[in-house]
Amino acid sequence: MVDSRKTLNPAVSRRTVFRGLAGFLAGSPLLHSQQDPFRDHSRVPALGEMLDAFDFEPVAHAKIARQAYDYMSWGVDGEFTMRRNREAFDWVGLVPRRIAGVGPVQAASNFLGMNLPFPMLIAPTARHVMFHPDAEAATHAGATAASNTPFIVSNAATFPVEKIAAAATGPWWFQLYPQPGPDYNRQTLEKAQAAGCRAIVVTVDQQASVYERSTHDQNLATAASPVPAPTSVGPRRRANPYRVPDGRLWYEWTLLDELRRVAKVPLVVKGIVTGEDARLCLEHGVDAIYLSNHGGRSLDYNPSTLEVLPEIADAIQGRVPILFDSGIRRGSDILKALALGASAVGLGRVPLWGLAAYGGQGVQKVLEILQAELLQAMAAAGRPTLASIDRTLVRTEFL
């Protein structure tokens, strides 16, 4: 006869118990074994409920296609640099002045001839239509509504620069991916300047990037790249087996001399991460240095930009301003970058979270949150003006 008790309550082996316990512990957020956080899908919060920039990311994740989210969120290869960009802010401590006669806190400055209420810009990012149907037009409108924050329009934008410029009255810059031969660069920059761009940003750190590959490691079902590479203007060469894109690995320092002759507005070079390259930029007439590692999307195992910021500042000795990006999420992050030598900061992923979550109003809201956080951090640190912010404000323990 079959023992019914064994049928209804089979014995559980110790191996099964330990396997279940291990799975429970591995899923605990305290162990950071769960790469993606658990997300509340019960409702989408109202815009007024957003308290900091991080609140926008899960809303963006819920609203846009996985392909677009992956493109926006991830970095190149093992994403060490992308993680290090963020972690580096944890290695910089703030040392406040407790009795400093703070008074009214002012974050206004003049950057390349533009009066900025806050030392921040929207960094160039591509194809905003993946995140909202109004694309860069909505981003520009949101940036203008947030105290005329300058918007750097990407060379790989969805809309023509004329349409983006007409969407709002705030200042905007133009970012260029140079192409071999002078005609494309000259025609592109003349078009942007005719539309009203206030500065030109030349990106030089993407000569051999492969993050645009058609199938991303984090989304193996993606059929095609969300952002096609810029159209090549020379004779098409046979594709190589090493994933090095055609039309790159050709830059020379003389490129800056050629672009300087075309540019009627300030010329900024983006992607500098060494003091030596910063000094060479000055020799070729650059008006500002843009310290960036492309948000960890160009070369993995780069240093974080915050780690090399003091080196860049020491190399140029204040001869030109420094624009800084990669990893900024809070107003205190901006304060740390300013203390280490930045003149202003660029925001990349954070405005895209706002755009994907709530459109142009989301861009405006997330910028206003960061602006308020910066003022609060300055007040708490006893630094009432940008001129009062220097390296005595921070202690660094870079690993």
**Active site residues per annotation:** 294
- What is the rounded CA–CA span in Å between residue 45 and residue 64? 16
Residue 252 amino acid letter: E
Q: Which two three-digit tokens encode residue 154?
A: 């990407």
How far apart CA 10 and CA 311 sit, in angstroms, is: 67
375: number of Cβ within 10 Å: 18
What is the rounded (10 degree) CA torsion for 273, 262, 190, 175?
A: 0
Structure tokens at 17: 């118990």
Q: How many CA atoms lie within 13 A of 164 on its CB side?
A: 29
CB distance 115 to 108 below 8 Å: yes
Q: How far is CA 179 from the centre of its chain?
A: 23
Rounded to the nearest angstrom, the gap between the alpha carbon of residue 100 and the centroid of all alpha carbons in its chain is 33
Rg for the chain, CA atoms, rounded = 24
Question: How far is it, in rounded angstroms, from Cα 288 to Cα 270?
Answer: 9
Distance, CA of 135 to CA of 158 (rounded, Å): 7
Query: Cβ(330)–Cβ(370) under 8 Å?
Result: yes
H/E run at residue 361: helix 360-381
